[in-house]
Amino acid sequence: MSSQLATPTAAPSRQERRHAIAAAAQLAQAKVAAAPRGAAGERARRILLALLLPVTAMLAIELSVRGGLIPSNLLPAPTQILDTLRDLGAQGLLGHIAASTARVAAGFIAGALLAILLGATVGLSRRAEAILDPTFQALRAIPSLAWVPLLLLWLGIDEAPKIVLIAIGAFFPIYMGVASGIRGVDRKLIEVARLYRLSNVALTRRVLLPAALPAILTGLRNGLSLAWMFMVAAELIAASKGLGYLLSDGRETSRADIVLAAIFLLAILGKISDTLMAAIEKRSLAWRDSYA
């Protein structure tokens, strides 16, 4: 019985191996060189797509106002709003921005610290959840403006009620993110940690916090957005400086350009703060192998 034997492939020569290594090195260098250009191109494309809608809307409004389709006293043209911002800049606009930003920062930090502490307590303890969570869920349903009269009665009209109101706005989404994030940790991870006899501190640091971190960071981003919203509510009631004060001043003087200028600045500041928080989230969760 005859059988066919496969002819062994000749081993590559030393010169062929050198050519192969050189080609692989060139390919790797090309990929490394193309990666920054590809990332920069993708970033530029995302920026252009993000600007598409607002730029189109502003062009449409500008043309509509100039063409007489929209009364300028009700909806000023974007160029008129830019002129208003220039005038406000000469009248101390930076002071208003600084006052609002400082209030948001103080209220957000206070609300976030309390929310993380209580959210972790509720997430880790069923008894604490039974005691605290129903009350927090009821308080969460109270509108922001409903707190204002009570805070004014308790704390007066200085900075304290504004910061407390902002802290209330930031507290609930962060609390929900922390509590739900910890409660949503996979039970199998806890069981594995117990098998390795991790202490409660090690279990929290090495298992619970990393697993709950996506929900916690999402709660922080939502809390920061609500902090800006509650800041406007606080400054609309009692303030002599801030973007909320500019909104109130524009309404009382029937200056739609001032109102829209303040809204534009709130949108810009909110976007900047959210972008910073998103960068922190991306860096903190770089270990995830997620769809994004």
> What is the structure's pLDDT at 22?
61
pLDDT in tens, 42-62: 888 888 888 899 899 999 999
- Taking the CA of residue 119 as centre, how many other CA atoms within 13 Å lie in the half-sphere pointing to its CB? 30
> 82 and 64 share a domain?
no
Q: Assess contact for 128 and 185: CB atoms under 8 A.
A: no
Is position 7 within any domain?
Answer: no
Q: Assess contact for 181 and 269: CB atoms under 8 A.
A: no
State pTM to two decimals. Answer: 0.80
User: Consecutive 10-residue runs of the chain (292 residues): their mean pLDDT?
Assistant: 46 59 60 58 85 91 89 89 92 93 96 95 91 94 87 87 93 95 86 81 82 92 94 83 90 91 94 93 81 62
> 180 and 53 share a domain?
no
Name the residue among 229, 221, 256 with its Cα closest to residue 103: 229
Domain count, the chain: 2
pLDDT in tens, 34-43: 555 566 778 8
Q: Report residue 45 as tokens.
A: 């494309």
Give the domain extent around 141: 78-284
For tokens 């101390």, the residue is 92
Burial pattern 241-273, b for ≥16 Cβ within 10 A else e, equals: bbbbbbbbebeeeebbbbbbbbbbbbeebbeeb
Average pLDDT, the chain: 85
Distance (Å, whole) CA 9 – CA 59: 69
